[in-house]
Amino acid sequence: MREVLTLILAGGKGVRLEPLTRDRAKPAVPFGGLYRIVDFTLSNFINSGLRRALVLTQYKARSLDRHIAAGWGFLPRELDEFIEVLPPQQRIDEHWYKGTADAIYQNIYTIEKCEPKYVLILAGDHIYKMDYGDMIRRHLERNADLTVGCIPVPVKEAPSFGVIQVDREDRILGFQEKPKSNPITIPDDPSQILASMGIYVFTARLMYELLCQDATKTDSDHDFGRNIIPGLIGSQRVFVHRFQDKNRKATPYWRDVGTLDAYYQANMDLVDVDPVLNLYDRDWPIHTNQPQLPPPKFVFEEPGPGSRRGEAHDSMVCQGCIISGGHVRRSILSPNVRINSYALVENSILFSGVDVGRHSRIRRAIIDKDVKIPEKTTVGYDLEHDRRRGFAVTDSGIVVIAKAELSETFGPTG
């Protein structure tokens, strides 16, 4: 794996996740209580035996930079092992990245200095568990020029993906970028398409040539799906690698949490009795920055007039939390959350530092960092009232409270 350099694209704005991305990049958005979205890609990278990665950032990168520095700085640089954040260099021009291919091209000088023979390109904003080593080995066995990671998805989701047509040897015959109609379906299964996961293994020499050629084209979107891959089909050895889920479940789990509703549902998947995404698998752990905090605490008093009963059911409760006589059901509590007496939190995601006041009721909500919920506040019970208060409400009725909203004190951003 020393010949492989990994590039993680982590510069997206994440507009559809606002207000959660108002102060942070999409890969830095908290997930599952303890983690950030980017931790899943980085954990796959480490668990796959890879040790050299450049994380390409762009928009609102401070929170992401801080997280990677605090939790992912353990590889020894003296052994040529590293996870290094690479902000826009503007070595080639003064523009932001114009597309996925342009993001790589603008950093081609740094990439060449690492002298890789193969380049693994990943997105930093997807939730899944995958051994990239399997994909790299298949790339070598086939003597491929490009290998594209893919997964079957329902045909109705075709407008959100690059759709791939393959032969019996898994060689790519056609590629449609986010087709709005008539997508190519999987043979013998017209209900599904073979979708690109945005994961690529390139032979480095060819990648350099392609990026330099694409950079000179004025009519190009400078994007792998729209420009680079279609131009290779028929002239180069281009194959797919079918996603093999390290969760060891019958149903492969891969989520693009690009909308608030998709993000909410992916989090709620974690509190199922038998979740498809297994965070407790010691053979494929998800790493992150672990704050030094005390264990969670539950305050319970014997039944009687005015007694308090702190409890959580079907929930994930992180370190530093105090459930002081409140009730939590099917929810995710990030570190340092406090649920005060007689409060009720149901089907919700609370980011770190959230404080829910006494007698408050929270239902189907996402609450960002350090928000202080005053006493006797209700959220999620009257959506029109929530909208009038300025909260975002999704199509499925999830209420999202950004930082500083309903707060008496404002915590640090990110």
CATH no. for residue 326?
Answer: 2.160.10.10
The answer to whether position 412 is within a domain reads no
The answer to whether position 66 is within a domain reads yes
Residue 77 burial by CB count (10 A; 0-12/13-18/19+): exposed, middle or buried? exposed
pLDDT at 408: 44
Confidence of residue 412 (pLDDT cuts 50, 70, 90): very low
Phi, psi of 10, rounded to the nearest 5 degrees: -130, 35
pLDDT at 31: 97
The answer to whether position 408 is within a domain reads no
Does one domain contain both 121 and 67? yes
Does one domain contain both 28 and 117? yes
pLDDT at 264: 98
Does one domain contain both 160 and 216? yes
Length of the chain: 414
Confidence of residue 305 (pLDDT cuts 50, 70, 90): low
Please check the confidence at residue 375 and state whether its pLDDT lies above 50: yes
Please check the confidence at residue 313 and state whether its pLDDT lies above 90: yes
The count of structural domains within the chain is 2
| Token digits of residue 236 | 């180069």
Does one domain contain both 256 and 328? no
Range with the poorest average pLDDT among 140-144, 149-153, 221-225, 254-258: 221-225
pLDDT 10s digits, 219-274:
888 888 888 888 889 889 999 999 988 887 777 899 989 899 999 999 999 999 98
**How much of the chain exceeds pLDDT 70, in percent?**
95
**How much of the chain exceeds pLDDT 90, in percent?**
73
Does one domain contain both 78 and 219? yes
| Token digits of residue 117 | 């023979």
Query: DSSP letters along 302-327, please?
Result: -SSTT--B-EEES-EE-TT-EEES-E
Does one domain contain both 182 and 60? yes
Does one domain contain both 325 and 368? yes
Confidence of residue 14 (pLDDT cuts 50, 70, 90): confident
What 3-state DSSP class applies to 263?
Answer: helix
Confidence of residue 92 (pLDDT cuts 50, 70, 90): low
CA 145, 214, 93 angle in degrees (round to 5)?
Answer: 125
The answer to whether position 198 is within a domain reads yes
Contacts of 110-115 with CB under 8 Å at 24 or more apart are 110/54, 110/86, 111/5, 111/7, 111/54, 111/204, 112/208, 114/5, 114/52, 114/54
The answer to whether position 60 is within a domain reads yes
350 compared with 188, residue with greater pLDDT:
350
β-strands 172-177, 162-166: how paired?
antiparallel
Give the pLDDT mean for 363-390: 96
Does one domain contain both 262 and 385? no
- Whole-number mean pLDDT of the chain? 91
The last residue of a domain, from among 229, 253, 269: 269
Please check the confidence at residue 64 and state whether its pLDDT lies above 90: yes
Please check the confidence at residue 146 and state whether its pLDDT lies above 70: yes
The answer to whether position 324 is within a domain reads yes
Does one domain contain both 242 and 330? no
CATH code, domain with 159? 3.90.550.10
Give the pLDDT mean for 163-183: 91
Give the pLDDT mean for 118-145: 96
| Token digits of residue 190 | 């017209």
- What pTM value is reported for the model? 0.93
pLDDT at 91: 61
Range with the poorest average pLDDT among 6-15, 118-127, 200-209, 382-391: 6-15
pLDDT at 223: 84
Phi, psi of 68, rounded to the nearest 5 degrees: -65, -40
The last residue of a domain, from among 233, 249, 269: 269
The answer to whether position 147 is within a domain reads yes
Please check the confidence at residue 53 and state whether its pLDDT lies above 60: yes
Domain extent at residue 204: 4-269
The answer to whether position 178 is within a domain reads yes
Does one domain contain both 317 and 369? yes
Please check the confidence at residue 58 and state whether its pLDDT lies above 90: no
